[in-house]
């Protein structure tokens, strides 16, 4: 995608993340209107901080002063923040959940002096490299990478997670092939419905069979808990009152 659309790998990754890794949709909309795609995805066209010659820059938060350029960073939108602010913000984003893969700049695009609202927030997306630059905790980095992978898998029709709860592999289905997938962990399942492999039975028939089986199992559990067989005729009798004395008809 980066070569086809003349983008850097970082730009291509940010756009693909925004488009749910649907490259065909990204390509068609990019060729139709690049500026609209950039604005929607939160990716500025020109780096506003290019050629910064000042030795000090003002951190955009209300609690920091000027800091050396080497101790600060700005995305293409041009909002400068010191390393401490970036570190605190991105670590917090990863800690709060998988939405961190869509984390945006902390700055405000609105320059008017008024109480900022949601629409004033900068929408510049934070690239993966910037997140990994400021998030040093190994466990948090692993979480972030896992959520990135999950966002990719969920955006692909031909890739799914293995339904085995003890397995973390993603498997790919090649069009035209058997939909009974054998994962490396040894688990076999149907790619269409995630149930245990059931070739040649169709998914809808298997679903009905499972529903019937589960229903019968539930009935047996209820009967075992609420009834007992008559020792003479073997007919089941339900106990519906407090007394343990039973009389079979």
Question: Of 64, 162, 243, 248, which residue is the catalytic one?
Answer: 243
User: Distance (Å, rounded) from C-alpha 244 to C-alpha 31?
Assistant: 79
DSSP 180: E
Q: Which helix (H) or strand (E) holds 189?
A: strand 188-190
The CA angle 186-187-193, to the nearest 5 degrees, is: 155
Quote the distance between the C-alpha of residue 138 and its chain's center.
19
- Burial grade of 139 (CB within 10 A; 0-12, 13-18, 19 or more): exposed
User: Distance (Å, rounded) from C-alpha 1 to C-alpha 92?
Assistant: 31
Using omega within 30 degrees of 0 as the cis cutoff, is the peptide bond preceding 188 cis? no
In the residue annotation, 122 being an active-site residue is answered as no
Which residues are tagged catalytic? 243
């Amino acid at each position: 995608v980066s070569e086809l659309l003349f983008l850097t790998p970082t730009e291509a990754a940010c756009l693909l993340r925004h488009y749910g890794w649907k490259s065909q949709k990204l390509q068609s909309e990019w060729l139709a209107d690049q500026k609209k795609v950039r604005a929607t995805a939160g990716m500025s066209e020109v780096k506003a901080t290019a050629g910064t010659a000042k030795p000090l820059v003002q951190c955009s938060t209300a609690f920091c002063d000027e800091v050396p350029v080497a101790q600060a960073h700005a995305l293409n939108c041009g909002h400068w923040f010191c390393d401490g602010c970036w570190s605190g913000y991105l670590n917090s984003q990863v800690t709060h959940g998988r939405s961190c893969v869509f984390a945006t700049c902390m700055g405000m695009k609105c320059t008017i002096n008024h109480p900022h609202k949601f629409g004033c927030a900068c929408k510049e997306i934070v690239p993966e490299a910037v997140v990994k630059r400021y998030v040093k905790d190994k466990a948090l980095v692993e979480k972030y990478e896992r959520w990135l992978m999950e966002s990719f898998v969920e955006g692909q029709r031909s890739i799914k997670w293995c339904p085995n709860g003890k397995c973390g592999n993603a498997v790919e289905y090649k069009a035209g092939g058997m939909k009974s997938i054998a994962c490396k962990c040894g688990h076999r399942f149907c790619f269409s419905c995630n149930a245990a492999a059931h070739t040649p039975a169709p998914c809808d028939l298997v679903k009905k069979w499972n529903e019937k089986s589960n229903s019968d199992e539930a009935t047996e559990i209820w009967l075992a808990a609420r009834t007992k067989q008559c020792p003479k005729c073997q007919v089941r009798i339900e106990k519906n009152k407090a007394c343990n004395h039973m009389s079979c008809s």
